[in-house]
């Protein structure tokens, strides 16, 4: 009786040399290490880098992924490790799927998270399909998140290093995508461990700084990008209190976010005021005391559910949730309204919950991600 072929490190019952893997390469240290590691293990690696916006403008830009310099760095890693590398022009796809919605969301008074949409609509959709067209067995990325096999198939779990965990930005990964994706860095204890691997493989990007900005937003200046995309968007208007009393003027709703305190230009008040609502139709920035920022009820839509049981099979799900990327998960109850909408009750009120942000679901006392959705209206 023949012995069963053991699974390789990517979970396939065949030798690495017969396993083709497309690696999404941004030019940074994380994806470069993934590609180098898999190449060293003998996999049939194909590196792919996406050009997401104007290459000429990108060349002069630092601190963001997928810029011209990054394309060069990704290609260099491929040359050093001896595997093919392709650059795909996704400029139009990226603009239609990510940038335009980003602008419209800000104009509607929301606070969007374009990196989630990029993963959902570009990297894990179009690029993933390209990987399949290349007859790859799977696609690997440098994201800090873990894919573990559970009783009912692949599960999404937080990274070992909580400081690097990217689960908030990957909640919309579908079960079908998860079946095809691999995340080789999710188990590492720290970014230092990743850089040590880069040094081990002799990669020139070993000491390359992490990207900080959203790739198409130079220096974090959202308003200037939106004004460029939507001329006339920064129309002036009134700053009012919750009773409608005019306290001052503003230079465009797009310059403000829920919870903002600084830069309002309305000094001389006894107590500090915060942005509590943005009224786009009236071109008003509504301010009030800090306690008005607190909310316990969060409406969520476009839910992607990753639990083992159907989302609507229960009236309530007792979970932990994140309503912004920088906060730890907090206890909550999800009450499904349909297969893709729900009301989330936070056990402890959160301040500054904003439409356009994600609400990500976590299994209580576990590292497993149960999915999430989009916060969609003000209060």
Q: Are the beta carbons of 111 and 354 closer than 8 angstroms?
A: yes
Dist CA 45 CA 201 (whole Å): 15
Is 215 one of the annotated active-site residues of the chain?
yes
- Please give the backbone phi and psi of residue 342, each rounded to the nearest 5 degrees, phi first: -160, 165
Is 118 one of the annotated active-site residues of the chain?
yes
Q: Which two tokens stand for residue 224?
A: 């200037």
CA 16: distance to chain centroid?
30
Q: Which one from 66, 115, 118, 158 is the annotated catalytic residue?
A: 118
Listing DSSP states for 292-349 in one string gives GGEEEEEEEEEEEE-SSS-GGG-S-EEEEEESSTTS--EEEEEEESSSS-EEEEEEEE
Q: Which two tokens stand for residue 246?
A: 């005019």
Dist CA 266 CA 238 (whole Å): 11
Nearest CA among 378, 326, 379 for reference residue 109: 378
Residue 115 φ/ψ region, left for φ over 0, alpha for ψ in the -120 to 50 degree band, beta for the rest:
alpha
Listing DSSP states for 162-228 in one string gives TTT--GGGSTT--HHHHHHEE-TTTT-S-HHHHHHHHHHTT-TTTTPPPP-S-TTSGGG-HHHHHHH
Tokens 């969609």, residue?
Answer: 376
Q: Are the beta carbons of 296 and 349 closer than 8 angstroms?
A: yes
Alpha-carbon Rg for the chain, nearest whole angstrom, is 22
The residues assigned a catalytic role are 118, 215
């Amino acid at each position: 009786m023949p012995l069963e072929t053991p699974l390789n490190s990517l979970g396939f019952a065949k030798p690495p040399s017969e396993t083709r893997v497309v690696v999404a390469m941004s030019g940074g240290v994380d994806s470069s290490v993934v590609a180098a590691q898999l190449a060293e293990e003998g996999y049939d690696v194909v590196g792919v880098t996406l050009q997401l916006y104007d290459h000429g403008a990108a060349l002069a830009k630092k601190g963001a992924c997928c810029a011209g310099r990054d394309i060069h760095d990704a290609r260099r890693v491929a040359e050093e490790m001896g595997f093919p590398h392709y650059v795909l022009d996704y400029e139009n796809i990226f603009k239609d799927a990510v940038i335009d919605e980003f602008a419209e969301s800000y104009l509607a008074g929301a606070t969007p998270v374009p990196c989630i949409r990029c993963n959902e609509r570009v990297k894990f959709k179009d690029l993933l399909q390209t990987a399949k067209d290349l007859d790859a067995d799977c696609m690997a990325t440098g994201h800090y998140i873990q894919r573990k096999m559970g009783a009912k198939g692949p599960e999404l779990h937080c990274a070992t290093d909580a400081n690097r965990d990217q689960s908030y930005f990957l909640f919309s990964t579908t079960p079908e995508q998860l079946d095809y994706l691999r995340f080789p860095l999710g188990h590492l204890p720290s970014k230092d461990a990743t850089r040590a691997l880069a040094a081990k493989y002799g990669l020139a990007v070993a000491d390359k700084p992490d990207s900080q900005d959203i790739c198409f937003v130079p220096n974090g200046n959202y308003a200037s990008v939106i004004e460029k995309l939507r001329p006339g968007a920064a129309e002036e208007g009134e700053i009012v209190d919750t009773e409608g009393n005019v306290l001052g003027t503003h230079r465009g709703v797009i310059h403000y976010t829920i919870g903002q305190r600084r830069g309002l230009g309305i000094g001389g008040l006894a107590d500090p005021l915060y942005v509590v609502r943005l009224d786009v139709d009236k071109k008003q920035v509504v301010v009030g005391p800090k306690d008005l920022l607190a909310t316990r009820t969060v409406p969520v839509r476009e839910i992607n559910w990753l639990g083992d049981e159907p989302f609507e099979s229960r009236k309530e799900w007792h979970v932990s949730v994140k309503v912004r990327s920088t906060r730890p998960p907090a206890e909550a109850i999800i009450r499904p309204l349909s297969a893709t909408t729900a009301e989330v009750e936070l056990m402890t009120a959160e301040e500054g919950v904003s439409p356009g942000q994600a609400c990500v679901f976590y299994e209580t006392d576990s590292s497993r991600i149960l999915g999430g959705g989009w916060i969609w209206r003000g209060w």
